[in-house]
């Protein structure tokens, strides 16, 4: 008999939580006080306006369990994969400068009940214990016919029910005995159709998308056609991928020395390593990401820790925020951060190379129509529509913060170069497996001779001449001298090879 939650079963959830955890009346009173504090914070942040808020949407706790397969059904072994309590992850996320975090434990047979009955109550306690950090509920979805994905659930009174229904109905590893029909793309499409129609839809990012690739554009579990199918089915849910995967400390020993054979991102295949710590789907100019953007798709990138076991304890991971950060421009409340992720108002960075990145594109020129066009601007994740039917100049204004401060490694890295990348939007491709956009180019490389410095801030202005085609603009920057991110060799110190990437701004003409 399948266990299916409905609205009427919310009291059952509360009963289950009370039966399986040491929840008390006082605990729920405290949670109520936290909700009041959150409402107060929300009000204050509305007055202050949106800010760049750092976060991590891929963090594992001890509820990413192991399994005792001698039992029937298999019995969950707490801490069998990742080892830390949720609250310890949260405490370290706060320590390393994060404003928000998503707890994302992955599944297995009947793991939906583990999430519901054990992980979720611990998340509620963690929210109480670390109230300054916004902590979303989610999971690392065992994606049907693909690799893993971060599934982020909107914060609500029924968030535990929402995740339970998704995991129990669609997660490919949840059934016991195993059900091979779960591990099909048709099941993934059914899952996305289910999620997109929820009153508060979740957000899904494909994790470490080329980790199983066997070479340059030789894809493994995740393929371009799958991403297109997902995004076509639920463009409000399937919105992107990890640009930089976690497990970036794979080449660091417990004492901080370097492992000669260690890899970044757990991308152990020598033919398909990361590039500057980023997945090849993102790092290659004119590659898969640009192919998706060239269709006009809203397909965003993020950067995460994938924390399981910290490098200081023999693992391959940084704490949330210790190395990678995903910045969202939002007011500090759950709803605004969620919508910022959904709509791509996001940039990513490693090693705290930068902490702010504002980009504005605007029609330029002195023709009479420009009196209106001057008010027509767009920022990261948005679209600028150019007025009139003639080609127009477009001004790109960049303001980034290169903080004069030490990062978690004790370094104060400096931006050496910023690249402006432009590609054409030519419409949907006929070949769904396409992973190239030959129109995408680095149109300008900026160095310190090209920018102005005011304290910690760098400002750059550049004009694109005679823009007459639909296009997109994105940025990246580095502390290295590499013109393009090189394939990461084994034994590379991740702190020496830092990059940031913006999500795109689209420019639409009236032709």
Q: Is the peptide bond before 239 cis (omega within 30 degrees of 0)?
A: no
Query: Residue 437: what pLDDT?
Result: 98
Percent of the chain past pLDDT 70, that is, above it, reads 89
CA angle 325/329/330 to nearest 5° reads 115
Q: How far does Cα 232 stand from its chain's mean position? A: 19
H helix runs in 344-404, sequence order = 370-373
> By the 8 A CB rule, do 413 and 355 touch?
no
Query: Residue 370: what pLDDT?
Result: 41
Q: Sign of dihedral through CA atoms 155, 350, 262, 406? A: negative
Query: Residue 47: what pLDDT?
Result: 57
SS3 37: helix
Please state, in angstroms and rounded to a whole number, the distance separating the CA atoms of residues 456 and 205. 32
Query: Residue 510: what pLDDT?
Result: 84
Q: How far does Cα 320 stand from its chain's mean position? A: 12
A 10 A CB-CB count for 375 gives: 9
Query: Residue 342: what pLDDT?
Result: 98
Please state, in angstroms and rounded to a whole number, the distance separating the CA atoms of residues 58 and 242. 9
Domain boundaries, given as residue ranges, for the chain: 7-350, 357-508
SS3 452: strand
Q: Does domain 357-508 have CATH number 3.40.91?
A: no
Query: Residue 364: what pLDDT?
Result: 84
The residue assigned the tokens 């706060």 is 94
Sheet holding 457-467, edge to edge: 377-378, 356-363, 392-401, 457-467, 452-454
Please state, in angstroms and rounded to a whole number, the distance separating the CA atoms of residues 47 and 29. 28
Residue whose C-alpha is closest to residue 55's, from 80, 15, 89: 89
- Ranges assigned E (strand) in 3-133: 51-59, 66-68, 75-77, 100-106
CATH fold group of domain 7-350: TIM Barrel (3.20.20)
pLDDT digits (tens, 9 = 90+) for 46-97: 557 899 999 999 999 999 999 999 999 999 999 999 999 999 999 999 999 9
> By the 8 A CB rule, do 265 and 250 touch?
yes
Please state, in angstroms and rounded to a whole number, the distance separating the CA atoms of residues 35 and 32. 5
Structure tokens at 505: 């701004």
Q: At what angle do helices 224-233 and 185-196 cross, to 10 degrees?
A: 30
Residue whose C-alpha is closest to residue 500's, from 194, 52, 94: 52
Please identify every stretch of the chain with a pLDDT value under 50, giving residue numbers as ranges.
1-34, 36-45, 366-375
Structure tokens at 108: 């297995």
Query: Residue 135: what pLDDT?
Result: 98
């Amino acid at each position: 008999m399948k266990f299916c939650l409905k609205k009427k079963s919310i009291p059952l959830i509360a009963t289950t939580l009370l039966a399986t955890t040491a929840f008390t009346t006082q605990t729920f009173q405290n949670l109520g006080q936290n909700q009041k504090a959150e409402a107060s914070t929300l009000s204050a942040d509305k007055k202050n306006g949106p800010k760049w808020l750092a976060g991590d949407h891929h963090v594992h706790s001890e509820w990413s369990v192991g399994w005792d397969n001698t039992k029937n059904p298999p019995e969950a072994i707490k801490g069998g994969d990742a080892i830390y309590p949720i609250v310890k992850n949260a405490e370290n996320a706060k320590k390393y400068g994060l404003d928000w975090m998503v707890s994302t434990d992955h599944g297995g047979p009947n793991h939906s009940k583990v999430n519901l009955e054990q992980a979720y109550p611990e998340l509620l306690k963690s929210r109480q214990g670390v109230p300054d950090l916004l902590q979303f509920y989610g999971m690392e979805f065992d994606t049907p016919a693909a690799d893993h994905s971060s599934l982020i659930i909107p914060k609500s009174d029924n968030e535990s029910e929402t995740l339970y229904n998704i995991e129990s109905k669609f997660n490919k590893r949840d059934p016991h005995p195993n059900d091979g029909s779960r591990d099909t793309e048709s099941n993934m499409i059914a899952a996305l159709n289910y999620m997109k129609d929820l009153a508060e839809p979740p957000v899904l990012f494909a994790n470490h998308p080329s980790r199983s690739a066997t070479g340059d554009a030789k894809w493994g579990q995740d393929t371009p056609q799958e991403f297109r199918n997902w995004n076509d089915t639920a463009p409000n849910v399937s919105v992107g991928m990890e640009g930089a995967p976690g497990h970036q400390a794979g080449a660091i020993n417990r004492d901080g020395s370097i492992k000669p054979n260690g890899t970044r991102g757990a991308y152990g295949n020598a033919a398909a390593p990361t590039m500057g710590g980023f997945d090849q789907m993102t790092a290659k100019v004119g590659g898969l990401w640009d192919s998706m953007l060239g269709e006009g798709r809203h397909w965003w990138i993020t950067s995460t820790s994938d924390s399981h076991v910290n490098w200081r304890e023999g693992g391959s991971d940084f704490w949330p925020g210790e190395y990678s950060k995903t910045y969202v421009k939002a007011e500090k409340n759950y709803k605004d951060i969620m919508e910022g992720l959904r709509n791509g108002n996001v940039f990513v960075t490693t090693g705290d190379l930068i902490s702010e990145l504002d980009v504005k594109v605007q029609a330029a020129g002195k023709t009479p129509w420009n009196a209106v066009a001057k008010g027509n601007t767009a920022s990261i994740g948005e679209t600028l529509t150019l007025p009139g039917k003639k080609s127009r100049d477009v001004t790109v204004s960049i303001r980034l913060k290169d903080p004069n401060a030490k990062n978690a490694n004790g370094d104060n890295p400096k931006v050496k170069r910023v690249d402006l990348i432009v590609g054409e939007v030519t419409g949907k491709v006929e070949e769904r497996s396409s992973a190239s956009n030959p129109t995408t180019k680095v149109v300008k490389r900026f160095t310190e001779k090209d920018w102005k410095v005011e304290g910690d801030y760098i400002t750059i202005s550049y004009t694109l001449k005679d823009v007459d085609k639909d296009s997109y603009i994105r940025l990246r920057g580095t502390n290295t001298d590499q013109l393009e991110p090189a394939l990461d060799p084994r034994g590379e110190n991740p702190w020496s090879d830092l990059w940031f990437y913006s999500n795109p701004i689209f420019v639409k003409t009236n032709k």
